[in-house]
């Protein structure tokens, strides 16, 4: 467990505030059928809405947190229990554009930040290395919680967001009330990344290898090619999601961040051992390399049509979750699970909060 004193030392600066079916729970395998939580109280049922019911957030706020000025959307009562929703790549806060109001209506204070390199989140210093190793991104969220004076929250994420939430739950469990993690345990073991995967799995990761080349880097730096690559990823990993051009471009606006290319390229190259991180994060990465367990109450969710969802459900990572736990599989859903199945995702948050 990492405490707040060692976190501040790692970041190196102080923190402070400047400021399913596609629509419901049908097709969810493994979902709880009881209407009572662990305390015996009734678990609220989230109303079913169609994906795309909401298209924007009322506003985006900014707060200085750690190394960043973080842009984030906030919905719900200011003093409600907090849920932090963390997006993945190539996505942004709009992955939660339907989830956030559903949770806000349940009384939650919902915080949805742009990760470093995305949207209106900016580095405070031009001299800061544009690092996207996993512990650095997790520390960004701890800094955000400190800046917003959030002691503990439910963390919910997918893709990069799942990895970030998993790391915080493993290293700082005192900051996590409960966890919803799409695709389960995603903490990266870089040594394991050196071992070849089955050919079909390697094919699915085509863009990771593309980004290892200079051509891939140039593609991310070019607006035209960046949009082509990210749109192709959306099409391939969410084969049943009938999103329109407007939906994609609302998210793609976040890719115009001046640090976007650097962050994306460093993240994928770092995972493959092709780029180094920073020594100040070594203590965290050494712990993460050992595959620490997660003891906070957790629900893991798999999307049936996500090409990254392994066969066998949660069998490959079940042992990593040592607290109260449940696994769900959503039929007919692809990679951007919270945007494709907002009701089911929001229900998972409410359910795990009542464990």
Report residue 137 as tokens.
């991104």
Please report the pLDDT score of residue 259 as a whole number: 98
Q: How many helices (H) and strands (E) does the chain have?
A: 13, 10
Lowest mean pLDDT among 43-47, 239-243, 256-260, 307-311: 307-311
**Residue range 46-67, pLDDT digits in tens:** 999 999 999 999 999 999 999 9
Q: Are strands 325-330 and 28-29 parallel, antiparallel or unpaired?
A: antiparallel
**pTM more than 0.85:** yes
pLDDT classification of 310: cutoffs 50, 70, 90: confident
- Whole-angstrom distance, CA of residue 296 vs CA of residue 83: 15
On the CB side of 92, CA atoms within 13 Å amount to: 28
Is pLDDT above 50 for 109? Answer: yes
Q: How confident is the model at residue 157 (pLDDT cuts 50, 70, 90)?
A: very high
Which pLDDT belongs to residue 76? 98
**Confidence band for 71, pLDDT divided at 50, 70 and 90:** very high
Q: CB under 8 Å to 238, separation ≥6 — which residues?
A: 305, 306, 334, 335, 336, 340
Lowest mean pLDDT among 22-31, 175-184, 208-217: 22-31
Please determine, for residue 332, whether its predicted confidence score (pLDDT) is greater than 50: yes
- The rounded distance, in Å, linking the Cα atoms of 1 and 284 is 10
């Amino acid at each position: 467990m990492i405490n707040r004193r060692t976190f501040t030392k790692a970041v190196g600066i102080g923190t402070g505030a400047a400021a399913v079916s596609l629509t419901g729970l049908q097709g969810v395998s493994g979902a709880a059928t009881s209407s009572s939580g662990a305390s015996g109280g009734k678990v609220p049922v989230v109303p079913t809405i169609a994906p795309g019911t909401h298209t924007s957030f009322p506003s985006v706020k900014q707060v200085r947190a750690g190394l960043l000025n973080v842009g984030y959307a906030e919905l719900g009562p200011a003093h409600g229990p907090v849920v932090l929703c963390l997006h993945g790549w190539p996505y942004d806060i709009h992955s939660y554009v339907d989830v956030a109001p559903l949770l806000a209506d349940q009384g939650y204070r919902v915080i949805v930040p742009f990760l470093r390199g995305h949207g209106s989140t900016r580095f405070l210093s031009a001299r800061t290395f544009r690092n996207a190793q996993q512990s650095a991104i997790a520390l960004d969220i701890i800094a955000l919680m400190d800046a917003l004076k959030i002691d503990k929250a439910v963390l919910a994420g997918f893709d990069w967001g799942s990895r970030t939430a998993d790391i915080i739950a493993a290293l700082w469990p005192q900051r996590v009330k409960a966890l919803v993690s799409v695709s389960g345990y995603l903490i990266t073991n870089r040594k394991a990344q050196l071992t070849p995967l089955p050919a079909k799995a390697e094919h699915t990761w085509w863009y990771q290898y593309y980004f290892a080349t200079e051509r891939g880097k140039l593609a991310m730096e070019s607006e035209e090619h960046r949009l082509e690559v990210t749109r192709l990823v959306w099409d391939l990993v969410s084969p049943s999601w009938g999103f329109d051009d407007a939906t994609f471009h609302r998210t793609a606006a976040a890719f115009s961040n001046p640090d976007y290319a650097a962050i994306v390229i460093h993240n994928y190259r770092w995972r493959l051992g092709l780029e180094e991180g920073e020594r100040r994060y070594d203590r965290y990465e050494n712990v993460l390399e050992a595959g620490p367990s997660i003891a906070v109450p957790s629900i893991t969710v798999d999307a049936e049509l996500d090409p990254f969802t392994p066969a066998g459900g949660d069998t490959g990572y079940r042992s990593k979750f040592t607290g109260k736990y449940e696994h769900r599989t959503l039929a007919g859903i692809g990679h951007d699970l919270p945007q494709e199945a907002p009701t089911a995702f929001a229900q998972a948050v409410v359910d795990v909060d009542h464990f």
